[in-house]
Amino acid sequence: MGIHIQHNQLGDLREKIISRKKQIERLSDTTGQAKKMFEDYIQPIMNVYQPIISPLASHNTNLFYRARKCLNNEPFYHIKHLYNPPNPSGRAFSSLSKPTLYGSSSIQTSLAEIEVKIGDLVNIAIFDYTEIMKDDFWFVGQLGTFYKSQEETRYLENLNVLHKPFHTDEEVLISLVFKDLLINEIFSTLSSDEDRYELNQFLIENVEKSISKDRRFNGVVFISTKDAPGVNFAIYGEAIKDLKLSIVNLIEITSIDDYGCIGYKHLQSLSSQDGNLHWSKDI
């Protein structure tokens, strides 16, 4: 396929990925299915893909947010459940070869990601990522905006890695953007509980191989498809241990307007020294 895949070929691959994903969702035994889908339809894309790698830029308070729906309207009483909550609380902390912890750039985006409803009680864990900023992250889903308006992501530290190629061939540019958007779509929506987030894991492991051995790969920064232009984070491996959990909020969802803007009432906030969360009973 040369140095790039034509956008119509990428469109065909996308349709095959979506079709295979739907087939997997109907299977009672999905063992090995995500790996086969990756090898058949995603690996060819990664073979000609050049990832954007950079440290994280400092941004406001260097925080990200991880929302978990409370089960049976009961808040979680230990922080371990905010890392790896019981189903169907929300997006998981994967437990494959290396764990991946998902979070968002704002409370609003974190709530959109777990598809809250009015009346839900939600715990929101707030993490400080300062200690992991200077290692490498993979930035996904932002080439289209950059090529159109030269707008860089607010989290990208090394702006030199996000540049318009010297060539101006329109087909190549379209292919680059389509690949970037397709990989972002896999991260945002196509990889899920049904495949235990294995597609994301395969993507991450594929990119990790391209990182210099003297650099630590800390995860992925990608665009939310549920609350654009919100940003999501997939913190990877040992970097999870270096996150600082600053506070846990308990909120109640009070409104969701026609534009998806989510209103909520703050109920309580806690910090924890021993992992336990001692919520007041007067909620």
∠172-177-182 over CA atoms, to 5°? 125
The residue ranges of DSSP E strands in 19-172, in sequence order, are 52-54, 63-69, 100-104, 121-128, 136-140
Distance CA 54, CA 171 (A): 26
Q: Which of 221, 19, 250 is nearest to 105 (CA)?
A: 221
Q: What is the pLDDT of residues 99-135, one digit of tens each?
A: 889 999 999 999 999 999 999 999 999 999 999 999 9
If we measure between CA atoms, which residue out of 147, 149, 190, 160 comes closest to residue 45? 190
Confidence (pLDDT) at 133: 95
pLDDT at 1: 43
* Three-point CA angle 165, 133, 127, nearest 5°: 125
pTM across the whole model = 0.88
- Count CA atoms closer than 13 A to 206's CA, side-chain side: 20
The parts of the chain modelled with pLDDT lower than 70 are 1-3, 84-97, 148-153, 162-168, 194-195, 283
Q: Exposed, middle or buried: residue 117 (CB in 10 Å: 0-12, 13-18, 19+)?
A: exposed
Q: What angle do CA 276, 282, 283 make, to 5 degrees?
A: 80
Rounded CA separation 184/173 (Å): 17
CA 202 distance to own-chain centroid: 14
Q: Is 247 exposed, middle or buried (0-12, 13-18, 19+ CB in 10 A)?
A: middle
